[in-house]
Each structure stands twice: as structure tokens, then as C-alpha cells.
């Protein structure tokens, strides 16, 4: 009887130890994308290729050049533009999501009133779908296509709400190697009429996770004019409606003047440096400082500060 009891106890102990051993060595399932981080600059166009569900509040503070080049010669400007926005995304499954990429409130504060108006108002609204054609957790690789429609719902006072709307067609890619990440995107902005400018962009991102609190990043953005707008006088609270007539450049990621003379300066190239901090597994905070590499007087950017928060759930 004692021998049988000892044998039974030994069997139970062996089973428990085997269960413990299996529990300790079985790997935890991962998706391969836990540490993916969203780019910060060019936020209305440069998105993460990975479909997720998230809220993305953004604050941008952009200093305006002291003067800008026009067909009438340099015109004084100065001051700043502030943007308060909230993007969101809802993943329907691993590959498909609904995205809202542009909205928010714009506050323009130039130094040179009454030539430029101190105005504020709402931006246009843009939304659409993102689909991941490649979704490979094993290699931490994703490639997606996004199509959004921008509706002219904004206020003229802040260079919004003109034309018949536009479509944005964008391809995005993402690759992670342990703590290192590369991301990129390219796309075109296609107005539904000839009044506003047709533009393209190319953006790139590289980051490295030193630790969860400090993830430094560098980004590059190239905006290019494909076809100028018709230059019709418009946005009359700004320079008497003359901006589309005399501006020798476009506004690109924030603004679309419809300037007919933007062919004089077709390109805007910017660089951004910054970091992200992973506050929790679901929330991270980002900061980026951006400045133009092309002539700042051929744009409305002297420099830009962007702060955002990404809450993924």
C-alpha cells in the first residue's frame, strides 16, 4: 500500500513538474508589430502602413518666414500658424481600416496686418480606407495602400474650403528589425477640378528604440508640384485675395492656394528630427522639429514644432 501511494505521488509530482516546464518554455505569441511607431511629420499624408485602431491628437506650431517670394517681389509676412487636430483610425481586421486623416482648427497669426489677416477657422475634412496588401508579422513587414477623399468643408479665412474636393492616393511601407524601424510613403493629391494644385509627396522615416522612453527618429519629406492651380483671386481675407495670383509656391501638406505661378518653385523639401516615448503599452508621445531644406522664402515654413499622442487600442 505504501509503495502504491509513493508511486501515485511520484506520478502526480512528475506531471506537475512537466506542466511547469512546458509553461516556462512555451513562447509568448506576438504579432511582430508591437514596437511599430507612427511617423510624426507630414501627418495628413504620412501614416503608418499598419492598420490599427487608434486616436491621434496633434498640435503643430509653425513659424512663418519674415518674407515670401511672389511675382510682385518679396512680401513681408512673419508670425505663426497653429494647428489643433484629431485623427482617428478603426481597424476592421488585420488588413483593412477606416482612416480620418485631416480635420482640426487652424489659427493664422501673421505679423504684417492688414496685408495678411489674423484669422482662424476649421480645416477641410479628409477620410477613407487603408488596406495592407502585405501583412507579414513573421518578418515585421507591411505594405499598404490608402485612398482618402478631402471635402471642401473648411473656412476660406485659413485657405480651406475651396474647389470641389480632392482624392489622395498613397502607398506606405513598414519594416522592423528588432529596435530599428524604417517606414516610407509616396502619393498624389488629385483635385476634382482645375482650380487647386495637383501635388505629389515622398516621405521617409528611420527610428531606433534606445529604450521605451527614448526612441529617436529622423524624417525627410519631399513635396512636388505636378500641376498648378488656375490662380483665380480667392481667400479675400488674406492679401486681398491676391495669394493665388502672385504666390510663387504652394502650401502643400497644410494649404492649397491654387497658385498659378507655383511652377516657379515646384519643390519643398523638409527634414525633421525628434523622438517618441512609450508611456504605456497603448500610449506613446511624440515630438519633432522640422525645417525646410529648400529656400524657406519659397514656402510658408520657417520651421515647425509638432507634438502628438498616439493611443492604440
Q: Is the domain 2-312 a CATH 2.160.10.10 member?
A: no
Could you tell me the three cell numbers for 216? 529617436
Query: Average pLDDT of each block of 10 consecutive residues along the chain (313 residues)?
Result: 41 40 42 92 96 98 96 94 97 97 96 92 97 97 98 95 96 97 98 95 98 97 97 93 95 92 97 98 97 96 98 96
Whole-number pLDDT of residue 30: 57
- From residue 58, alpha-carbon distances to 15, 155, 195, 207, 279 in Å are 55, 19, 29, 20, 16
Could you tell me the three cell numbers for 254? 497644410
Whole-number pLDDT of residue 19: 42
Q: Determine how β-strand 119-122 pairs with β-strand 125-136.
A: unpaired
Cβ neighbours around 253 below 10 Å, total: 24
Residue ranges of the domains in the chain? 2-312
pTM: 0.88
Could you tell me the three cell numbers for 141? 513587414
Amino acid at each position: 500500500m505504501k509503495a502504491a501511494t509513493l508511486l501515485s505521488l511520484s506520478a502526480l509530482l512528475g506531471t506537475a513538474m512537466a506542466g511547469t516546464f512546458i509553461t516556462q518554455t512555451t513562447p509568448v505569441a506576438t504579432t511582430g508589430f508591437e514596437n511599430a511607431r507612427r511617423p510624426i511629420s507630414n501627418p495628413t499624408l504620412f501614416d503608418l502602413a499598419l492598420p490599427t485602431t487608434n486616436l491621434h491628437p496633434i498640435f503643430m506650431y509653425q513659424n512663418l518666414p519674415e518674407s515670401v517670394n511672389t511675382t510682385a517681389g518679396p512680401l513681408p509676412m512673419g508670425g505663426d500658424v497653429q494647428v489643433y487636430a484629431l485623427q482617428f483610425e478603426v481597424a476592421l481586421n488585420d488588413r483593412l481600416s477606416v482612416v480620418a486623416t485631416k480635420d482640426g482648427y487652424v489659427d493664422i497669426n501673421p505679423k504684417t496686418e492688414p496685408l495678411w489677416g489674423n484669422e482662424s477657422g476649421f480645416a477641410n475634412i479628409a477620410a477613407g480606407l487603408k488596406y495592407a496588401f502585405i501583412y507579414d508579422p513573421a518578418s515585421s513587414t507591411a505594405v499598404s495602400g490608402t485612398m482618402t477623399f478631402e471635402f471642401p468643408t473648411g473656412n476660406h479665412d485659413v485657405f480651406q474650403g475651396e474647389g470641389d474636393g480632392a482624392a489622395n492616393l498613397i502607398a506606405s511601407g513598414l519594416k522592423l528589425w528588432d529596435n530599428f524601424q524604417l517606414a516610407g510613403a509616396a502619393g498624389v493629391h488629385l483635385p476634382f477640378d482645375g482650380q487647386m494644385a495637383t501635388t505629389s509627396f515622398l516621405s521617409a522615416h528611420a527610428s531606433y528604440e534606445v529604450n521605451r522612453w527614448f526612441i529617436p527618429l529622423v524624417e525627410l519629406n519631399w513635396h512636388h508640384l505636378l500641376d498648378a492651380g488656375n490662380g483665380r483671386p480667392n481667400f479675400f481675407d488674406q492679401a486681398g485675395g491676391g495669394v493665388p495670383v502672385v504666390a510663387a509656391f504652394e502650401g502643400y501638406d497644410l494649404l492649397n492656394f491654387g497658385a498659378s505661378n507655383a511652377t516657379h518653385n515646384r519643390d519643398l523639401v523638409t527634414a525633421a528630427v525628434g523622438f517618441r516615448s512609450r508611456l504605456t503599452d497603448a500610449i506613446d508621445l511624440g515630438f519633432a522639429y522640422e525645417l525646410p531644406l529648400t529656400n524657406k522664402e519659397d514656402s510658408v515654413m520657417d520651421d515647425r514644432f509638432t507634438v502628438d499622442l498616439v493611443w492604440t487600442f
